[in-house]
Amino acid sequence: MNTSTELDLVANASAARQGIGAFNVVLLEHAEAIVAGAERAGRPVILQISQNTASYHGSFEPIMAASLAIAGAASVPAIVHLDHAEDLQLVYAAVEFGVQSVMFDGSTLDYEENVATTRKVVEFCHDHGVFVEAELGEVGGKDGVHAPGARSRPDEVAAFVAATGVDALAVAVGTSHAMTSRVATVDRELIGELAACAGVPLVLHGSSGLSDEELIGAVRAGMTKINISTHLNGLFTAAARQALNADAALVDPRKYITPARNAVAGEVARLLRLLAP
């Protein structure tokens, strides 16, 4: 049984100045592919289930239960993480259900309310041995702190971490969520400044928009947890579309989902090796 904690995985990666990949689960096949890729690479991995994905499935339990089972049977350390949770009741229920890590997203709240609510989440989660990631400002992508030119401030980052007690913090350094092309760049000098003052590992959201070179640069500058979703979804969809286009009579989902799952597994393995050479 997999007994690793996210605190172990992230702390170890941070100490080694390496990155740890965190990949979003949308369907059961994503969880299977992510773990298969991690096993192929021989690297630890984080499986992320967002509040949006929980809503898509009607509740978090089915996809969370499947992901926990797949991660628990993995031959490498694999953690299941609740991502971008804004609903406190969802946080509490997921922790009671067995999730090992939570990202509470209070980014749309004003600063004082974000601090107070995040601290409340931290106290609850730490009482249950659960790792907490938070976000300062809006790292929502499309707009907000991940809009072009928006950046986290070192003084605010240090104050927020001290006031909340979070285990990791998502910061804005030049990426944006939901990018379908890998053309974004990160502010490596700012990453170094934030890493020096935060006192906790930093998290990079919106990493699908970064090239391999930019990913490596972000990790070397001080980023630890690297979140990637849209890039993998693009590969999944492209592989499924290719299989469907190749055979107009195809009706068995397994025949087009299998190559899609394999495409994600291969890229997860490659990215994990890239982030932690």
Outline where DSSP puts E strands in 17-151: 20-24, 45-50, 78-85, 101-104, 131-135
Catalytic one of 8, 83, 155, 212: 83
Q: Which sign does the torsion angle of CA 108, 225, 119, 53 carry?
A: positive
Concerning whether 83 is annotated as a catalytic residue, the answer is yes
Residue 213 Cα distances to 27, 178, 217, angstroms: 29, 19, 6
Residue 230 Cα distances to 1, 141, 165, 176, 205, angstroms: 30, 12, 30, 11, 11
CB 100 within 8 A of CB 134: no
Q: Could you list the active site residues?
A: 83
